[in-house]
């Protein structure tokens, strides 16, 4: 029974929702091993983020340093490892985002700990905490246990319902982390959009190669905007230049689990399904009745997207 440390992800003074799913994961671990859940915020002038997190996990350690103005794994990893040691952490958790996946394995290596990626469930095995994680593009679920004293876990956030907060918490402030001399932050290009973030949206409308052009993606965007949703794309659509890279859903794209996922002109390759089959309701629109996407769809419409999508949008 040790500390379960949750490392926060934040941007522009706001806690990322993925952190609250990670707190839910930590609570699930705590329910088995009885450890205390402690939040960790690394930032430069990000006290408000620490306070926000304290309402979810009670105790938060906040380390303020110019080294954390931007997220650099070379700065994050030693700082997380130091706090984990100080608090006697047995589990160090972070969201399985590009940020978490970058620094957390380094923390595991620094602490000579275990590393478990993409945890989707927690369960008890012979009195220990064990984890489930998808393998083979989500076609099999591995049950894994770490024998190390400290285990770093990236958490597939779509698998854990975010905590709702309301806890009266405390923030302990620290300072003085070193800026790494072997790496430099060059630039951060944030895509500004009025649409919700793909991984956090409750509705996602995604288009595939069958749309045949970037202009045709306009019908996907129109439907997404009507539903207040985000826009996604298959890798084939991205590779063909019809959609930007950050819209890609799937094994090598983003993992989403919205309430509603509408797949338009997407065949349903396993690598695409790996990124969206956890969605609560899946609607597929495809002109080929044999398309594999219909095997995972709750509602299927065999139709030409160029007729069906504008009609659906106008009727909505
Ligand atoms: P296609 O398979 O070409 O399907 C197009 C569909 O559109 C067809 O079903 C067709 O019937 C339909 N269609 C055509 N015209 C119309 C119309 N007018 N109206 C309605 N329907 C129409 N893919 C991902 O998506 N995400 C990933 O992260 C990903 N990672 C990968 C990683 C690896 C290592 C590999 C090998 C592949 C990966 N892929 C990924 C690619 C994946 O295997 C598929 O090639 C890709 O998902 C296919 O995209 P698609 O369904 O848009 O295209």
Q: pTM for the complete prediction?
A: 0.87
Whether 300 lines ligand 1, by a CB cut-off of 6 Å, is no
Instruction: Compute, in angstroms, the gap from residue 196 CA to the centroid of ligand 1.
Output: 24
Q: Are 280 and 257 in contact (CB under 8 A)?
A: yes
Whether 208 lines ligand 1, by a CB cut-off of 6 Å, is yes
Two structure tokens written together for 260 = 């509603």
Displacement of CA 310 from its chain's centroid (Å) = 31
Residue 253 CA: nearest ligand 1 atom is 28
The torsion angles phi and psi of 303, rounded to 5 degrees, stand at: -165, 165
Whether 275 lines ligand 1, by a CB cut-off of 6 Å, is yes
Question: How confident is the model at residue 193, as a pLDDT?
Answer: 87
Displacement of CA 266 from its chain's centroid (Å) = 23
Whether 248 lines ligand 1, by a CB cut-off of 6 Å, is yes
Instruction: Compute, in angstroms, the gap from residue 202 CA to the centroid of ligand 1.
Output: 22
Pairing between β-strand 3-7 and β-strand 89-95 as defined by DSSP bridges: parallel
Whether 42 lines ligand 1, by a CB cut-off of 6 Å, is no
Pocket test for ligand 1, best of 137, 237, 286 (most atoms within 8 A of CB): 286
Nearest CA to ligand 1 atom 4: 267
Question: How confident is the model at residue 248, as a pLDDT?
Answer: 98
DSSP letter, residue 67: G
Pocket test for ligand 1, best of 239, 248, 272 (most atoms within 8 A of CB): 272
Question: How confident is the model at residue 253, as a pLDDT?
Answer: 94
Question: How confident is the model at residue 189, as a pLDDT?
Answer: 85
Instruction: Compute, in angstroms, the gap from residue 271 CA to the centroid of ligand 1.
Output: 9
Question: How confident is the model at residue 259, as a pLDDT?
Answer: 96
Distance (Å, whole) CA 170 – CA 159? 28
Residues with pLDDT less than 70, the chain: none
Whether 158 lines ligand 1, by a CB cut-off of 6 Å, is no
Q: Are 297 and 289 in contact (CB under 8 A)?
A: no
For 267-285, write each residue's pLDDT tens digit. Answer: 999 999 999 999 999 999 9
DSSP letter, residue 277: T
Instruction: Compute, in angstroms, the gap from residue 238 CA to the centroid of ligand 1.
Output: 10
Instruction: Compute, in angstroms, the gap from residue 210 CA to the centroid of ligand 1.
Output: 8
Residue 160: CB atoms within 10 A of its CB come to 23
Distance (Å, whole) CA 75 – CA 131? 28
Whether 277 lines ligand 1, by a CB cut-off of 6 Å, is no
Question: How confident is the model at residue 52, as a pLDDT?
Answer: 97
Instruction: Compute, in angstroms, the gap from residue 130 CA to the centroid of ligand 1.
Output: 35
Long-range contacts of 238-246 (CB under 8 A, 24+ apart): 240/209, 241/214, 242/207, 242/209, 242/211, 242/212, 242/213, 242/214, 242/216, 242/217, 243/207, 243/214, 243/217, 244/191, 246/191, 246/198
Question: How confident is the model at residue 137, as a pLDDT?
Answer: 83
């Amino acid at each position: 029974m040790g500390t379960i440390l949750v490392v926060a992800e934040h941007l522009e003074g706001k806690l990322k929702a993925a952190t609250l799913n990670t707190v839910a994961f930590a609570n699930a671990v705590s329910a088995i091993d009885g450890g205390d859940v402690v939040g960790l915020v690394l930032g430069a002038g990000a006290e408000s983020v620490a306070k926000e997190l304290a309402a979810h996990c009670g105790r938060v350690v906040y380390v303020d340093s110019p080294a954390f103005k931007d997220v650099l794994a070379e700065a994050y990893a030693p700082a997380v490892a130091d706090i984990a040691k100080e608090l006697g952490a047995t589990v160090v958790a972070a969201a399985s985002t590009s940020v978490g996946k970058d620094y957390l394995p380094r923390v595991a290596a620094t602490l000579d700990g275990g590393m478990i990626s993409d945890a989707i469930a927690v369960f008890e095995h012979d009195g220990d905490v064990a984890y489930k994680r998808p393998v083979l593009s989500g076609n099999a679920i591995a049950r894994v246990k770490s024998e190390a004293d400290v285990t770093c876990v990236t958490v597939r956030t779509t698998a854990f319902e975010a905590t709702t907060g309301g806890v009266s918490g405390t923030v302990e402030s620290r300072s003085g982390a070193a800026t790494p001399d072997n790496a430099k932050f060059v630039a951060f290009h944030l895509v500004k959009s009025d649409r919700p973030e793909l991984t956090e949206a409750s509705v996602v409308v995604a288009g595939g190669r069958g749309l045949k052009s970037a202009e045709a993606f306009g019908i996907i965007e129109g439907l997404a905007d009507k539903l207040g949703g985000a826009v996604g794309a298959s890798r084939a659509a991205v590779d063909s230049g019809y959609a930007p890279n950050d819209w890609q859903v799937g094994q090598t794209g983003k993992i989403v689990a919205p309430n509603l996922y509408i797949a338009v002109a997407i065949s349903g390759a396993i690598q695409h399904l790996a990124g969206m089959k956890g969605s609560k309701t899946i609607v597929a629109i495809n002109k080929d009745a044999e398309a594999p996407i219909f095997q995972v769809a709750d509602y299927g419409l065999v139709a030409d997207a160029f007729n069906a999508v504008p009609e659906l949008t106008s009727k909505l």
